[in-house]
Amino acid sequence: MSGAILGFDCATPATAVALLPGGEDEPLRARHEPAPGERPGHASRLLTFCAELLGRAGLGFSDLERIAVGTGPGTFTGLRIAVATARALAHASRTPLAGVPTLDALAEPVPGPAVLAILDARRGEAFAAGYLEGVRTLPATALDPDALARLAAREPWLAVGDGALRFRARLEEAGATVPPDDATHHHLDAAAVCRLGRTIPAGPPEAVLPDYLRLPDAELTRRVRA
């Protein structure tokens, strides 16, 4: 056992992978951010990055002490690619697997007493979760802009994530602070997935499932008709 932990997340258009070697070593990172208009590269980049980082550390999959995967909410297909990959890696290398909520990982490196982690949920909505003194006090929820503005007015939040950029005007109007567009805190750091994954109890791989937060459209339509 090297004490090494591999963590990744595909809940946003980015493919984010990190390897936290054991001991005091700095995390190794690999990341692909699609250019505007480009499709996410989850399927083609995720495993390539994993193998690349392990190679740089001189490790193999079976040397890992643990694997951690972002479980969303986020893009449905990205979540499934990450979870299907993580479960197979964990199963085949007999490594414990920890599911890490994506918004927890987004908020983890952000300093400040009140942090609002927000992802762009498309369709004019946001996925948001709130953290006071590092403790999640508002679980991940899908919100429309009005609900998000009401939530933003409740605390002097520091709001981060691509959803904070998307709804910057509404958030600032409600009193929240949104760092500049190019601030690193808007990007999920896979090293945070590793760090949180180390603290979460790891179970059998098949117990880790995505947290979609939304029903499939066909199911919503069916319920409306029923």
Partner 1 sequence: MILALETSCDDTCAAVVTPAGELRANVISSQGIHDRYGGVVPEVASRHHLELLDAAVDDALARAGIGLGDVTLVAATRGPGLVGALLVGLSHAKALAAARGLPFAAVDHLQGHVAANFLEPGALQPPFLCLLASGGHTLLVRVDDQRSHTVLGATRDDAAGEAFDKGARLLGLPYPGGPARERLAREGDPGAFAFPTARGVEGLDFSFAGLKTSLLYRVRDLTGQGTPSAVTHGATAPPLARDVAADLAASYQHAIVESLAHRCERALEQTGLRRLAMGGGVAANGPLRERIGALDAEVTVPPRELCTDNAAMIAAAARFTEPLPFPAYLGLDAYASGQRTPRGPV
Residue pair 10/75 in contact by the 8 Å Cβ criterion: yes
d(C-alpha 30, C-alpha 46), whole Å: 9
CA–CA gap between residue 16 and residue 193 (Å, rounded): 10
- By CB under 8 A, the residues from 91 to 130 that bind partner 1 are 91-93
- CA Rg, the chain, in Å? 17
The secondary element (H helix, E strand) that includes residue 85 is helix 76-93
Indicate whether 210 belongs to the interface with partner 1 (CB under 8 A): yes
CB 213 within 8 A of CB 140: yes
Q: Take residue 14 and report the two structure tokens written for it.
A: 């980015």
Cβ 191 to partner 1, closest distance in Å? 21
Size of interface with partner 1, in residues (CB under 8 A): 35
According to CB under 8 A, which one of 80, 154, 170, 198 is a site residue for partner 1?
80
Binding residue for partner 1 (CB under 8 A) from 51, 114, 138, 153?
Answer: 51
Interaction of residue 175 with partner 1, rule CB under 8 A: no
Q: Which of 4, 86, 149, 159 binds partner 1 (CB under 8 A)?
A: 86
List residues near partner 1 by CB under 8 A: 43-48, 50-51, 60-62, 76-77, 80-81, 83-89, 91-93, 205-206, 209-210, 212, 216-219, 222
